[in-house]
Amino acid sequence: MAPLLGAIADDATGATDLCSVLVRGGMRTVQTIGVARDVPLPEADAVVVALKSRTAPAAEAVASALAALDWLRELGARQLFFKYCSTFDSTPEGNIGPVADALLDALNAELTVVCPAYPANGRTVYNGHLFVGHRLLSESSMARHPLTPMTDSDLVRVLARQTPRAVRLVPHDVVRSGARAVERRLEELAADGVAYAVTDALTDDDLVAIGAACAALPLVTGGAGVATGLPDNIRRRRLLAPVPQPTAPPPSNGPAVVLAGSVSAATREQVRRMAARFPAVAVDVVDPDVDRAERAVRAALGAGAVVVHTASSLEDVARAQQRLGAERAGEAAETVLAELARRLVRDGVHRIVVAGGETSGAVVSALGVRALRVGREIAPGVPWMTSVGDPPLALALKSGNFGGPEFFLQALGVR
Ligand code: ADP
């Protein structure tokens, strides 16, 4: 059966976050790494294509989104979703506006909603202003992001800089009145020639109302949060089972390896907690030795699980960056973990947890993984996934900041 929802995500861990929301809503969901036309996909209600287009040149981001759209339409997807970050990560040139413009054109659609709000993660929108926790986006740490500094919190203004089309607000009093009120406002805006309706949203109920109002739109855009309302639209049309489908069983067999390439505070604490219970292998980024790391991991696999990490402290990171420069140090860490993953899978390890967005991308690509069936959640936004192919691998890919201090232990089922 054709997927009911086809989604295009501008980065990999964001795609996984969206998958988690859809699975929670009872949709059988598959994530692919880019377009995977040649891969035989399992039956799915939703297919989420993970791109790496958030900070690519706009023309490249548009081309990859259109290629993904072509494929999702070939698969027969009935509704399209463009997923971006809940902090609206973009530059004055894009890529949210240019990609959304291209998708609207290709779908021959007049209007879509713009809803990055994700109250469960502290992202809310009021009077068109995006808040991160209690602070305006422009006063959050996102204002100093190295690639996409967000120095303006007014989403109508931010998006208007990225598109020639009209952008207008759907204020909170309309959203609070429910799905019908939002739907009517969207119709009015479309009649006025508006292409983008930025929706206020403060609560999960707001997201559900907005999601329900989007039932007939060919294209929905937003963070993972607004997808909360989409499975119910489909269920109302009796196209989806009334009770959530059982998701893929959690993987349980064989030893597991945790590869930590993120150096975020959250991941370092997760590594510390795991290392207190299981063997740990440290890789020196300045002088990486994959053979030695592989031998050390293999010798320790009898314990059932091993954690490999590239930094015990921020001093390790500073030292590596001083010696190699930030870019080469990052590449060195990613390369060694990715090669280690490849060798360990060859040696029979079939359960791998990766910490770090970029690191996850490097590992998945080294393993040649093109598509993943999404299973049960370990922590919000981080599900177990099973790769399509032989052998099927159980993978959990988390962005550095995700998960509580015992995340790795939870993933391994020992907490
Ligand atoms: P996050 O999700 O926390 O941003 P990423 O994997 O996206 O994690 O980014 C972390 C980056 O830090 C990766 O490029 C990784 O290779 C790099 N890195 C890991 N260990 C070190 C280290 N010791 N020194 C310098 N860079 C490192």
Q: What is the pLDDT of residues 145-160, one digit of tens each?
A: 878 899 999 999 999 9
Atom of ligand 1 nearest to the CA of 359: 6
Structural domain boundaries of the chain? 5-236, 256-411
Which residues, listed in sequence order, are joined to residue 25 by a DSSP beta bridge?
none
Q: What is the model's pLDDT at position 93? A: 87
> CA geometry: angle at 230 spanning 400 and 60, to 5°?
55
Ligand 1: does its nearest atom lie under 6 Å from the Cβ of 400? yes
Mean pLDDT across 233-248: 73
Q: What is the model's pLDDT at position 265? A: 87
Q: What is the model's pLDDT at position 250? A: 58
Q: Is the pLDDT of residue 248 over 80?
A: no
Ligand 1: does its nearest atom lie under 6 Å from the Cβ of 334? yes
Atom of ligand 1 nearest to the CA of 309: 20
Q: What is the model's pLDDT at position 146? A: 74
Ligand 1: does its nearest atom lie under 6 Å from the Cβ of 288? no
Atom of ligand 1 nearest to the CA of 362: 6
Q: Is the pLDDT of residue 253 over 80?
A: no
Q: What is the model's pLDDT at position 13? A: 87
Q: Is the pLDDT of residue 401 over 90?
A: no
Q: What is the model's pLDDT at position 247? A: 63
CB 112 within 8 A of CB 219: yes
pLDDT band at 287 (very low <50, low <70, confident <90, very high): very high
d(CA 82, CA 96): 9
360 CA to centre of ligand 1 in angstroms: 10
- Is the domain spanning 5-236 CATH 3.40.50.10840? The answer is yes
Ligand 1: does its nearest atom lie under 6 Å from the Cβ of 264? yes
pTM > 0.85: yes
Q: What is the model's pLDDT at position 390? A: 87
Mean pLDDT across 114-130: 96
Q: What is the model's pLDDT at position 414? A: 85
Number of Cβ within 10 Å of residue 284's Cβ equals 17
Q: What is the model's pLDDT at position 67? A: 98
Mean pLDDT of the chain, nearest integer: 93
The preferred substitution site among 17, 55, 141, 263 for testing ligand 1, maximizing ligand atoms within 8 Å of CB, is 263
Q: Is the pLDDT of residue 236 over 90?
A: no
pLDDT band at 252 (very low <50, low <70, confident <90, very high): low
Q: Among candidates 56, 55, 10, which has minimal Cα distance to 34?
A: 10
Q: Among candidates 414, 369, 389, which has minimal Cα distance to 397?
A: 369
CA 184 to chain centre: 31
- Report helix, strand or coil for 170: strand
Mean pLDDT across 154-180: 98
Which range, of 147-156, 212-221, 234-243, 322-331, averages the lowest pLDDT? 234-243
d(CA 217, CA 229): 13
Q: What is the largest CA-CA distance in the chain?
A: 68
> pLDDT digit string (tens) for 366-379?
999 999 999 999 99
Output the residue whose Cα is nearest ligand 1's atom 26: 330
Residues ≥6 apart with Cβ < 8 Å to 384? 248, 250, 251, 375, 376, 377, 378, 394, 395, 396, 411
pLDDT band at 200 (very low <50, low <70, confident <90, very high): very high
The sign of the CA dihedral 328, 332, 333, 338 is: positive
Q: What percent of the chain has pLDDT above 90? A: 82
Output the residue whose Cα is nearest ligand 1's atom 19: 261
Alpha-carbon distance values, 272 to 118, 242, 266, 326 (Å): 30, 42, 10, 24
The preferred substitution site among 359, 364, 397, 401 for testing ligand 1, maximizing ligand atoms within 8 Å of CB, is 359
pLDDT band at 386 (very low <50, low <70, confident <90, very high): very high
Q: What is the model's pLDDT at position 249? A: 59
Which range, of 168-182, 212-226, 326-340, 389-403, averages the lowest pLDDT? 389-403
d(CA 210, CA 124): 13
204 CA to centre of ligand 1 in angstroms: 33
Ligand 1: does its nearest atom lie under 6 Å from the Cβ of 138? no
CATH of domain 256-411: 3.40.980.20
pLDDT band at 237 (very low <50, low <70, confident <90, very high): confident
pLDDT band at 261 (very low <50, low <70, confident <90, very high): very high
Atom of ligand 1 nearest to the CA of 261: 19
pLDDT band at 234 (very low <50, low <70, confident <90, very high): confident
> pLDDT digit string (tens) for 50-98?
998 988 999 999 999 999 999 999 999 999 999 999 999 998 889 999 9
Ligand 1: does its nearest atom lie under 6 Å from the Cβ of 16? no
- Report helix, strand or coil for 183: helix
Ligand 1: does its nearest atom lie under 6 Å from the Cβ of 285? yes
> CA geometry: angle at 318 spanning 295 and 87, to 5°?
100
CB 107 within 8 A of CB 218: yes
Atom of ligand 1 nearest to the CA of 267: 3
d(CA 280, CA 298): 12
251 CA to centre of ligand 1 in angstroms: 27
